[in-house]
Structure 1
């Protein structure tokens, strides 16, 4: 029976019928091995196919030439041995009911001269690339002849690998660098007029189309307005696209903006705190001007917005890429009438920042994404007897433990000292720009209640309260408390970032914020203080500001700091705080690089140095536990049950997770809980 939901209606793309309008657009999670989409890569996309997506697109920026070396784990389409890996992936995805395509590109200058085979990077003009700091050489005719052939051969490998089509990348890479007046400064036959600037891109399309034949699908993901001084405007982009369609392009994936800097990249791929679907109306205007199918993805993170885009004719296909990192079963749940059970994308952009921070993409609150070989997205009921479980703490770790144990069929009681769940997430979400983080909490509470988890708020659980439940298993997820212990003097004279974020501390004077953590906490506190009128100096011992905050999230902080004139001091360490003659705090700073101490006389000092484990309850419960708190790491990593027994008189297993162990982040806390509890 034909569905009335526009998202679930099928769509004809050339000869290919897609089962619905939802797409996971091209992106690179850096899950490849040796440049190949091996098992980890395949299972990541297969999960989305099993989850109902109509089209999944692999190889975000899969490269066609050796002089386009990977910048973050890109697939190597210039190697013949990629074909069987593509074939295995495409066969599995097709069997699960989805179509699959690959993005194809030459990175041009958007990579490094100092990686891969160390070949010189090529570009239309000698313009430095800001993000990767590369100086390219001006491409010669023989370079372009070779690269055109490389594009053709890469497309053939995709076709021979069983893919349904490819997508050419045309924003920030070599292809579009020729047709954009901002990056093509050539004076030869490939520069100047629009006709000359489009000559190389047209050669690429024509060569690919001639090689793959009329039926293979070729799309383009293209900036249709670069928002760049001297850059490509909408009307010129439309003129270009009409020629590209004539040459063989079958669909357009709309981009608005450019990726020449971190600030511009963050605007193209918007994070939390920005308007939803900011370019949707722009994409709709283009669709009305074109005769080819149009897709688009940019902060379309909820089903209602996606449904509106298709229903109102703004898009033919809607990209929900980050939402499907959060929940690869998004479409399946929608079709089953379980829209309210979709794990929300909160827009943290941890998925992208984690690639540069830790080597691959990670959803901030779905640790199974990218770990499909070891962790499930759907929790199965335990085949073992039901166990009485006590979880202490309703922060991200405790909530995930409760959710998973509940779905495993165990009887779960959660004690939480506060009157609401969330722990440190509530502090982070108190920043207006990061308010969407609360979705991590709300979803888990709702899911846990589906399994009958008993939440008891306002209860400071001690040993007596825990043991009164006669538990078989106790999970301590009590989090941590701010660490001021690094100071040699003056711990009582400082505030911490928690004091700022929970509203207990406000000032309009001079504030020194000291960050020896390097993630969002001090950045949030600095932004909040500055926007409320304080004159803030942010000090860090690092050689750069907040190295744990990636390029997708740092622009918003830097914009606020610039607007409110925040002073940044690098390479200084806070050692002590004393009271000055006027009664105000004096911050004592030293440098690791020179004997040049500083003193700052301020109205308040705020420190961020991670947390100390709140572990008193854990150690009180240790003597009565059967495992004495021990975790069998081999079993944990293998997804096997914990069977350690060090105390025959112990009546319960005892584990601690999250910041109750050591100071980490949201993803680590949830990952702790998921892999421990799925085997329980």
Structure 2
């Protein structure tokens, strides 16, 4: 550890001493239960405190009123019963020397009136928000009076719970909707438009007293037509500071549609830390403690920002979802062991796809009650374990097993690790996915795992290792056999991404999978000069690609004139006049039509590479069976279906069925973290 590391210097935010300059800024992982920060929510934040973060901010958009219904698992600050749960979380975080604050807001129109109590949403104008699709009513004076009182009560609950402070939210929600001329077109002058936000700030400050810390996360420049300009944003901020604000968290842009949100919270494929210069200029202008978070994913960038005085506190929020022990690793001189945030934005998109934030390659995040972030060593004789396949599942299995102390050898048929991630990273937009591979290879090597690349493992290779256990992560291959006519004429997305099927001409990209792969292929082809038509039987384009990542693809589609066809299924391909005729059938009407192209590229997910699994199955003690109850409880697998078997046999990742990166590493972690010493086979408990 460098004693003079700018990131590790303490910082005094008025009366509050922060142990370092790194913050996990306000965000909502949707881990609440019944709108309260119960066990899962608490464990998530305590893990970051244990990992050394200086300040963790909870309640990303914790709501103050009943007509601000939770849109993504928001905490409900309008309820008195939240106070003891907040107190329990606060006390647990404080035990590790970390400060904790809560973001406080009224969502305004950024929710749905078709949820919660089905109350109408309020806003200064009747403009519908594209992202959440509800039309608000214009707030009446009595609405503003009760909401003002709700802000005060919510802040008082936070103070009563022992929190170190609060942060008002002012971008994309109710407070800034009054300030912005775009969302409050009839609001009048700047003084008139900021009147309600100033009333809220003044009332909250009076209610919580002069010592309680109050900040604001604020869009100072909306960077869009008719939006709040920087000059007005700075003028408003000056007034807010005079009203009682202690610190500012800077935002540039707005968030009411997917494209705008992806600019404010940039995903992979976008430049790192795009708003640091903007934040530095704001800090110079206002002379107030400033924090900022926007794709500051690596320690070097964070260190530079603090060292150069561009900000006072650096938000590394998504980086902490990837590695909650980030600060502890800096402090102990193990920066190279930090699990990298690769910018996949699965953390955000998963909230909408399945209800809670998930790091694309840290399955323990949000599952702290059952899965470990740090590996504990076994106590007893290590097992001899063979892992086959060096994709994300196999590398994770090797990392975990080696990290616990087992004797592990990994066989990989290719010359390089990565599996399907090597293909995905061929798309410039997703090249950062290689961080998932590189980190696991380093960790596996450090744990003493023997990595054998260029070896297509056969049953005899595995038997020669005399293993106690075999874990197959052999992945999958493209599912191409589906056409009644012309199956031999098609290519797949792997052909494109591997570089073997690029070039110009008219290309049909047919997507029956709905994830990134077909969009990656379409982007690569379009950038190479092909005229691309994208077709899918789905009623929406790539439904498994989330709102954070989709705008980048849609930008490419627009720039290159990619045509899209929905609700049509590819049913046949034939040659005609030196080209291909692709037959498409409507999903909703009894009709077909043909289009003429030069090539047809299909994407239908993968089918398991399971030949080795079935070859080894008769020799296994468990015959491949997995005890799901034990798996989900974090207990070791003890199935013995074949007492004469030589080893336990498991398969994980796409060797089971076509899924995604997160599923692959989750398979590996929850299976392998429970595997104890060899004695455990004879009844001793796993360590």
The residue aligned with 1:289 is 285
Q: What SS is found at the alignment partner of 1:224?
A: strand
1:583 to partner: Cα distance = 3.6
The residue aligned with 2:139 is 139
1:257-296 aligned at under 5 Å gives the runs 257-296=253-292
1:356 to partner: Cα distance = 0.6
Compute the RMSD of aligned alpha carbons. 0.9
CA contact (8 A) 1:397 1:658 kept: yes
The residue aligned with 1:383 is 379
Farther off after superposition, 384-393 or 669-678: 384-393
1:102-181 aligned at under 5 Å gives the runs 102-181=102-181
The residue aligned with 1:649 is 644
Q: What SS is found at the alignment partner of 1:292?
A: coil
Supply the distance in 2 between the matched residues of 1:93 and 1:445 (Cα, whole angstroms).
33
Q: After superposition, give the CA deviation of every residue in 1:545-576 in whole Å (9 maximum; x if it has no partner).
A: 00100110000000000000000000001122
* 1:24 aligned onto 2:19: no
* 1:253 aligned onto 2:249: yes
The residue aligned with 2:682 is none
Q: What SS is found at the alignment partner of 1:381?
A: coil
The residue aligned with 1:85 is 85
The residue aligned with 2:527 is 531
1:584 to partner: Cα distance = 2.2
Q: What SS is found at the alignment partner of 2:333?
A: coil
1:589 to partner: Cα distance = 1.1
Q: What SS is found at the alignment partner of 1:17?
A: strand
Supply the distance in 2 between the matched residues of 1:474 and 1:384 (Cα, whole angstroms).
20
* 1:353 aligned onto 2:388: no
Aligned pair count reads 675
The residue aligned with 1:481 is 477
1:260 to partner: Cα distance = 2.2
The residue aligned with 2:419 is 423
CA contact (8 A) 1:102 1:163 kept: yes
Supply the distance in 1 between the matched residues of 2:190 and 2:605 (Cα, whole angstroms).
54
* 1:468 aligned onto 2:492: no
Farther off after superposition, 223-232 or 608-617: 223-232
Supply the distance in 1 between the matched residues of 2:175 and 2:617 (Cα, whole angstroms).
62
The residue aligned with 1:440 is 436
1:306 maps to which of 278, 302, 307? 302
Supply the distance in 2 between the matched residues of 1:432 and 1:384 (Cα, whole angstroms).
46
- Mind listing any 5+ residue stretches in structure 2 that lack a counterpart? 676-687
1:232 maps to which of 228, 233, 243? 228
1:527-676 aligned at under 5 Å gives the runs 527-580=523-576, 582-676=577-671
CA contact (8 A) 1:512 1:539 kept: yes
Q: What SS is found at the alignment partner of 1:7?
A: helix
* 1:449 aligned onto 2:445: yes
Output the TM-score relative to the length of structure 2: 0.97
Supply the distance in 2 between the matched residues of 1:242 and 1:601 (Cα, whole angstroms).
62
Supply the distance in 2 between the matched residues of 1:14 and 1:180 (Cα, whole angstroms).
30
The residue aligned with 2:318 is 322
Q: After superposition, give the CA deviation of every residue in 1:445-476 in whole Å (9 maximum; x if it has no partner).
A: 00000111111111000101111111111000
Q: What SS is found at the alignment partner of 2:221?
A: coil
CA contact (8 A) 1:56 1:100 kept: yes
1:484 to partner: Cα distance = 1.1
The residue aligned with 1:210 is 206
